[in-house]
């Protein structure tokens, strides 16, 4: 049996503490299946006609923690789903990739049914429910639970200014979940991002001028003046334009990208710009001031070659040492079975004791980890944005 509880029937900050209790038989069943580290997957979503996979919020927490925090994405009636999950190959990264991976701002796996009221049976095999049902039909009722929670409209954070969002979210595909995440992005946007974008603009201008001097026609200047809505890939599209300056008949033929780049070196504007740069370089003292001599290039090449070969030798030595130091795996018959963490007597008692909803303040001192403290602080101070 898995039972989830909350201290308050509604939330005021958009985030809420969820605790769970399990039957000792479930822990014994997991131990019999050789599950090293089971997790509790918490999913919050609106139900009925208001359900949308883009409004789901998912949290993955170790079963032995006994509690975690979830957030909501919309007001009104929401539901909290809880299910015990694990990867059958004991690969934690694979488990997180399956249940927490996003694509195009939506979850990659649809884990709920069409109205968000229950776990979709099509994905049970990812946490082993089908395999367990063949051995013990009671597992399904042990491993899932749900709880309805009303979410008021005033518990969400105010949206950020519309004029600032494109600049702050420029390097991120996903919108910020809460205020703290937006503040982190804002710190980056007004410290590191400006010089990077200036260099990006210089690169765009240089590539556009090269395309112009090389004889390409129908140059697209939009990426130079609209940095936020256009990427540097739009600037590179100028070199793929089949309309060429000399001669015009080439614009009516199909030329490959390699052939077009070779024709760039034959265009009069490109040749004149190269000749002018060489003349300016030879007529000034820029060559001496930058140490651009044959001796300089020789030393640079020799140093680069030495560093490359030294790195190659070190990489070979480290790779060889890993093979030598790697311990030999013992056969399963000679392994000493170690007691799993969640099967320790103190953890069994903690997870199975029904003393009301848990919070961080009511946890025993030895269970107040840094991770739970961080989640508790984040839940109290970082209001989520409504979607």
pLDDT, residue 272, reads 67
pLDDT beyond 90 at 102: no
In a domain, 354, yes or no: yes
In a domain, 334, yes or no: no
Tokens of 76: 């009104």
pLDDT beyond 50 at 334: no
Highest mean pLDDT among 13-27, 83-97, 139-153: 13-27
pLDDT beyond 70 at 282: no
What DSSP character marks residue 114? T
User: What b/e string do you get for 242-254 counting C-beta neighbours within 10 Å, with b at 16 or more?
Assistant: eebbeeeebeeee
Beta strands 106-107 and 2-5, pairing class:
unpaired
What count of other Cβ atoms lies within 10 Å of the Cβ of residue 17?
Answer: 24
> 98 and 30, same structural domain?
yes
Task: Pick left, alpha or beta for residue 76 (phi over 0 → left; psi -120 to 50 → alpha; otherwise beta).
Answer: left
In a domain, 329, yes or no: no
> 203 and 101, same structural domain?
no
In a domain, 335, yes or no: no
> 132 and 113, same structural domain?
yes
Peptide linkage before 316 cis (omega within 30 of 0): no
Question: Cα–Cα distance between 154 and 72 in angstroms, integer?
Answer: 12
Tokens of 373: 């403290």
Q: pLDDT digit string (tens) for 241-265?
A: 655 554 444 444 444 544 555 455 5
Question: Average pLDDT over the chain, rounded to whole?
Answer: 77
pLDDT tier for residue 297 given thresholds of 50, 70 and 90: low
Tokens of 31: 């131990």
197 contact partners, CB below 8 Å, separation of at least 6:
227
pLDDT, residue 189, reads 92
CA torsion sign for 85, 88, 89, 95 is: negative
Q: Give me the CATH number covering residue 46.
A: 2.60.40.10
In a domain, 367, yes or no: yes
Task: Pick left, alpha or beta for residue 45 (phi over 0 → left; psi -120 to 50 → alpha; otherwise beta).
Answer: beta
Q: pLDDT digit string (tens) for 188-247?
A: 999 999 999 999 999 988 888 877 776 676 788 888 898 888 888 888 877 776 555 544
Q: pLDDT digit string (tens) for 122-146?
A: 555 555 443 444 444 334 445 678 8
In a domain, 123, yes or no: yes
Angle (CA) 269 274 277, round 5°: 125
Residue of 24, 34, 17, 19 whose CA lies nearest to 1: 24
Identify the domain boundary among 256, 284, 312: 284
Identify the domain boundary among 236, 264, 284: 284
In a domain, 179, yes or no: no
Question: Cα–Cα distance between 44 and 17 in angstroms, integer?
Answer: 12
How many domains in the chain?
3
> 137 and 254, same structural domain?
no
What DSSP character marks residue 14? S
Question: Cα–Cα distance between 100 and 96 in angstroms, integer?
Answer: 5
pLDDT, residue 36, reads 85
Q: Which residue has the tokens 């540097």?
A: 232
- Is residue 51 within 8 Å of 112, Cβ to Cβ? yes
Domain that holds residue 256: 193-284
In a domain, 162, yes or no: no
Cα–Cα distance list, 368 to 265, 358, 373 (Å): 68, 12, 7
pLDDT beyond 80 at 105: no
> 125 and 47, same structural domain?
yes
SS3 content of the chain, % helix, strand, coil (to 5): 50, 15, 35
């Amino acid at each position: 049996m898995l039972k989830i509880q909350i201290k308050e029937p509604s939330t005021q900050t958009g985030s809420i503490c969820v605790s769970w209790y399990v039957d000792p038989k479930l822990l014994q069943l997991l131990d019999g299946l050789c599950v090293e580290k089971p997790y509790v997957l918490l999913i919050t979503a609106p139900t009925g006609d208001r359900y949308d996979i883009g409004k789901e919020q998912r949290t993955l927490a170790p079963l032995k923690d006994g509690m975690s925090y979830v957030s909501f994405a919309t007001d009104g009636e929401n539901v909290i789903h809880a299910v015990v999950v694990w990867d059958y190959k004991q690969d934690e990264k694979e488990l997180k990739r399956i249940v927490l991976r996003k694509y195009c701002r939506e979850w990659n796996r649809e884990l709920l049914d069409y109205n968000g009221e229950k776990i979709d049976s099509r994905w049970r095999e990812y946490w082993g429910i089908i395999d367990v049902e063949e051995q013990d039909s009671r597992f399904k009722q042990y491993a899932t639970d749900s709880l309805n929670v009303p979410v008021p409209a005033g518990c969400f954070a105010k949206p950020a200014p519309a004029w600032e969002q494109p600049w702050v979210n420029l390097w991120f595909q996903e919108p910020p979940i809460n205020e703290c995440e937006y503040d982190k992005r804002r710190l980056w946007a007004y410290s590191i991002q400006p010089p990077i974008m200036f260099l990006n603009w210089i690169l765009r201008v240089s590539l556009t001028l090269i395309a112009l001097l090389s004889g390409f026609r129908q140059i697209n200047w939009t990426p130079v003046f609209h940095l936020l809505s256009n990427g540097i890939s739009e600037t590179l599209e100028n070199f793929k334009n089949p309309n060429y300056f000399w001669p015009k008949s080439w614009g009516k033929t199909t030329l490959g990208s390699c052939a077009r780049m070779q024709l760039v070196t034959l265009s009069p504007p490109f040749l004149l710009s190269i000749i002018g740069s060489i003349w300016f370089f030879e007529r000034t003292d820029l060559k001496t001031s930058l140490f651009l001599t044959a001796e300089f290039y020789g030393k640079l090449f020799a140093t680069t070659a030495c560093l490359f070969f030294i790195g190659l030798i070190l990489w070979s030595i480290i790779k060889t040492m890993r093979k030598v130091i790697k311990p030999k795996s013992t056969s399963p018959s000679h392994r000493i079975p170690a007691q799993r963490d969640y099967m320790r007597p103190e953890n069994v008692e903690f997870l199975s004791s029904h003393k009301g909803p848990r919070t961080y303040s009511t946890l025993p001192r030895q269970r107040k980890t840094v991770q739970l403290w961080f989640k508790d602080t984040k839940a109290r101070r970082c209001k989520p944005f409504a979607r």
